[in-house]
Structure 1
Amino acid sequence: MTKQTSYAGDGEYVESYYAYSANPAPDRPHLEGDAETEVCVVGAGYTGLSAAITLAEKGYQVCVLEGAKVGWGASGRNGGQIVNGLNASLQSFRKRYGTATAKFVASVVQEGGEIIRDRVKRYEIACDLKDDNIFAALNGRHMQDLEERVTVWESYGLHHQELLSKDQMRELVGSDLYVGGVIDRSGGHMHPLNLALGEADALESLGGVIHERTPALRIDHSGDRPVVETPHGRMTCDTLVLCGNAYLGSVVPTLSWRVMPVSTQIMATKPLGDELARELLPSDACVEDVRYILDYYRLSADKRLLFGGGTVYGGSTPSDIKAKLMGNMTDVFPALKDVAIDFAWSGNFALSFTRVPQLGRLGDSTYFAQGYSGHGVVGSHLFGRILGEAIDGDRSRFDVFAKMPWVPFPGGRLFRVPYSTVGSWWYALRDRLGI
């Protein structure tokens, strides 16, 4: 058995609803001995798999090294929501980087969801893919923010979003909590771990190789050919792609301190049955509200409510996830006050200070992407493709993001957690006061 890094334990999935309902998957062997490949990808989450598929489709020899199992991290634990856009708004991109950059970002914000749909169809991935996501407003200020969002997106030619009045919202979401919202017809939701497992199968069908339980212990990217050292072997490659994101750890210190791990929590109710499920979510869309610390939820294929929210800066797991989330869930759906919770789990995403994903190179032959800041489902698929394009010789889109400056967290590594915690308290207070 391969020695494991502390973040992954024995490499098995956490006890989540997704692991419980995962499609059958092979147990892929760890790397044994010395090997070589054209492209080595570290991390079998969405970014790594997206980059690997992009390159394998172009004929490259690709090998993926995964410290645990495919989709073990955020890719197999997230809310399963296809929410278009990056964490930073189009308004933020325009203000920080100018009109031309904002226009470019607007041209790609829906591409991640398109990649998911294309691959699900092309490779026949069974992941319960459904259409539509809803943004929910709890007060007048939230509604103004959503109205501005729709106006800005339409100014860039993006017309898939529709404003919802309170009555229209009530027809789609069986809750009296909201004053209105927006529905995005190009959004959607799916089983995130099964998507990752299906993408791994797709990569292997293209000739790619995946080694599970193969954590990177040391990476040398100083020479012409990067080398990844693992517990039982070494991988030498022409090009290295680092896609560990929140779980890359200290293997590459120059990257790890650029982002901060943040945990979010999800729980799954018992199956609710068709009638109650229809009462709660007649639209069967996924939903997230627009608070700074938001709630997000949707129905699973077997009619459970999957309800998530909360953040813990630094990436620790709360001692009682059910207690942390239950009050928020019953605020939305009082009928679930006494419902049984079958699963509750936590997982980390990588937060960047600017909320803009970080894309770049270390030397000439090592590429990386990280810092999706809670919007990784679509962002990771997009950035994986852009990484693949750059390695294949087209750096036009890669260079736009790579040139965006990253900003360190105030207070550095020691004080970034308390700084961010205090900031979150302030924005949560604004949400409660509706200002």
Structure 2
Amino acid sequence: MAKPSHTGSYYAASANDTRLRPQLNEEISVDVCIVGAGFTGMSTALHLAEQGFRVAVLEASRIGFGASGRNGGQIVHSYSRDIDFIEQHYGEKTAATMGAMAFEGGQILRRFVSDYSIDCDLKPGGIFAACNKKQFRELESKKALWERYGHKQLTLLDATQTQQHIGSDRYEGALLDDSGGHFHPLNLVLGEAAALESLGGVIYEDSAVTEIKPGNKATVCTAQGSVTADFVVVAGNAYQTGLLPKQESKSMPCGTQVIATEPLSKDQQQALLPNDHCVEDCNYLLDYYRISGDGRLIYGGGVTYGAREPDKIEALIVPKMLKTFPELKGTKVDFAWTGNFLLTLMRLPQFGRIENNIYYAQGYSGHGVTSSHLAGKVLSDAIQNQAERFDVLASLPQYPFPGGRALRIPYTAMGAWYYDLRDKLGI
């Protein structure tokens, strides 16, 4: 039987750690069993192991197989819906708690890299780029909003200043976040896995969970073994099916596409991104890009609803890249891949507890890099009876998509088309 493997991404081809962890083939007992070896699972596991908990992680495929090992590799703060939306819809108390957490995920990520000497090409600086005047006004509001919640490392750039950071004339202006940044995501999650193992945690790959049996001690079953644990954390996100059907009905996997060019010359890199910052634009269906550690342009964008695989990724992404950087016409694309993120109706993450000792966190709606690292801390705290922040996140309503599972894809695609049209018209 073939061993599980990563998708054919640049990240998989340049992974620092290619070891295959063992498959679970026995019955074991631990304090906490975590389902899913992505950022949510690893952050939770690492936080708990640092406090002396015995932790086992079960992964259906490989560490970082899902979104955690395929994403754009950018540190983007807050949530897919920003703090002003939360304040308007859920009240000042909820907004105050979530606002205080909105910039913590990036700090956790950086602490892991520093504390455990993780080699993941971490570089500072991120840019939000406005494609029209309306978006630039929204960036002015974002700066004021984030500064109100204590985040001060922000600089507005006009169109001329933006071209000093991005070698393109597409943008009306930008917001530079000095606390943003970018990195090799698969190497980060693999480094976190190694850190967990150094603290006594165990990770089993190729060990898909078939059932979770509730009880004072829950039992997590795989085809070849089982884990008995005081607590279980379900962290499969967009690649999880069947374990929590009620929660899965309130979310939808969506795909995004990414390419990596051949390595560019130093002059080309300097012309495209002189300060080596990462960039995402402000469109609803946004583009995002950065220079990798070995000098490739990594460029992503677009969404396929329901996580359908597009026929040809390059045909979707290369025109976007050339619209931003026409001088790259003829540049070879070495890698092209897709990755799924989990969308919720309100575009806010979903946290919850089942049977008192089974926790879940999912649905970061495109803001998973920082939100998942924050989730690990929040879940770890809740397991240690410090559940105030968890309870606030778990109190957010979790709605099914209109029309149920059958119609969620066309309805969501129609909504995305509407917002994409507004972006293009600048209204």
> Match for residue 120 of structure 1?
113
Is 1:131 the counterpart of 2:124? The answer is: yes
Tell me the distance in 2 between the aligned counterparts of 1:287 and 1:100. Answer: 32
Tell me the distance in 1 between the aligned counterparts of 2:57 and 2:356. Answer: 20
> Match for residue 216 of structure 2?
224
Is 1:250 the counterpart of 2:242? The answer is: yes
List structure 1 segments (4+ residues) > 2 angstroms apart after TM superposition: none
RMSD between aligned residues = 1.0
Tell me the distance in 2 between the aligned counterparts of 1:196 and 1:396. Answer: 27
Tell me the distance in 2 between the aligned counterparts of 1:57 and 1:377. Answer: 21
Q: Letter of the aligned partner of 1:397 in structure 2?
A: R
> Match for residue 425 of structure 1?
417
> Match for residue 365 of structure 1?
357
CA shift at 1:10, angstroms?
A: 4.6
Is 1:293 the counterpart of 2:285? The answer is: yes
Q: Letter of the aligned partner of 1:266 in structure 2?
A: V
Tell me the distance in 2 between the aligned counterparts of 1:408 and 1:255. Answer: 9
CA shift at 1:157, angstroms?
A: 2.4
Q: Is this contact kept in 1: 2:130–2:173, CA < 8 A?
A: yes
Alignment identity in percent?
Answer: 48
> Match for residue 240 of structure 1?
232
Tell me the distance in 2 between the aligned counterparts of 1:218 and 1:318. Answer: 32
CA shift at 1:338, angstroms?
A: 1.0
> Match for residue 162 of structure 1?
155
Q: Letter of the aligned partner of 1:49 in structure 2?
A: M
Is 1:188 the counterpart of 2:169? The answer is: no
Residues 75-103 of structure 1 deviation map (CA, whole Å, 9 limit, x = unaligned): 00000000111101111101011112212
Tell me the distance in 1 between the aligned counterparts of 2:350 and 2:270. Answer: 40
Q: Which runs of 5+ in 1 are unaligned?
A: 2-8
Is 1:107 the counterpart of 2:100? The answer is: yes
CA shift at 1:156, angstroms?
A: 2.1
> Match for residue 391 of structure 2?
399
Is 1:75 the counterpart of 2:82? The answer is: no
Is 1:149 the counterpart of 2:147? The answer is: no
Secondary structure of 1:39's counterpart equals strand
> Match for residue 252 of structure 2?
260
CA shift at 1:173, angstroms?
A: 0.4
Secondary structure of 2:209's counterpart equals coil
Tell me the distance in 2 between the aligned counterparts of 1:110 and 1:287. Answer: 18
Aligned positions, number: 427
CA shift at 1:251, angstroms?
A: 2.3
Tell me the distance in 2 between the aligned counterparts of 1:11 and 1:90. Answer: 39
Secondary structure of 1:429's counterpart equals helix
Is 1:276 the counterpart of 2:268? The answer is: yes
Q: Is this contact kept in 1: 2:59–2:204, CA < 8 A?
A: yes
Equivalent in 189, 195, 199 of residue 202 of structure 1: 195
Secondary structure of 1:217's counterpart equals strand
Is 1:337 the counterpart of 2:329? The answer is: yes
CA shift at 1:363, angstroms?
A: 1.2
> Match for residue 306 of structure 1?
298
Q: Which runs of 5+ in 2 are unaligned?
A: none
Q: Is this contact kept in 2: 1:25–1:197, CA < 8 A?
A: no
Tell me the distance in 2 between the aligned counterparts of 1:50 and 1:38. Answer: 16
> Match for residue 204 of structure 2?
211
> Match for residue 410 of structure 1?
402
Tell me the distance in 1 between the aligned counterparts of 2:413 and 2:272. Answer: 32
Q: Is this contact kept in 1: 2:17–2:187, CA < 8 A?
A: no
Tell me the distance in 2 between the aligned counterparts of 1:10 and 1:368. Answer: 28
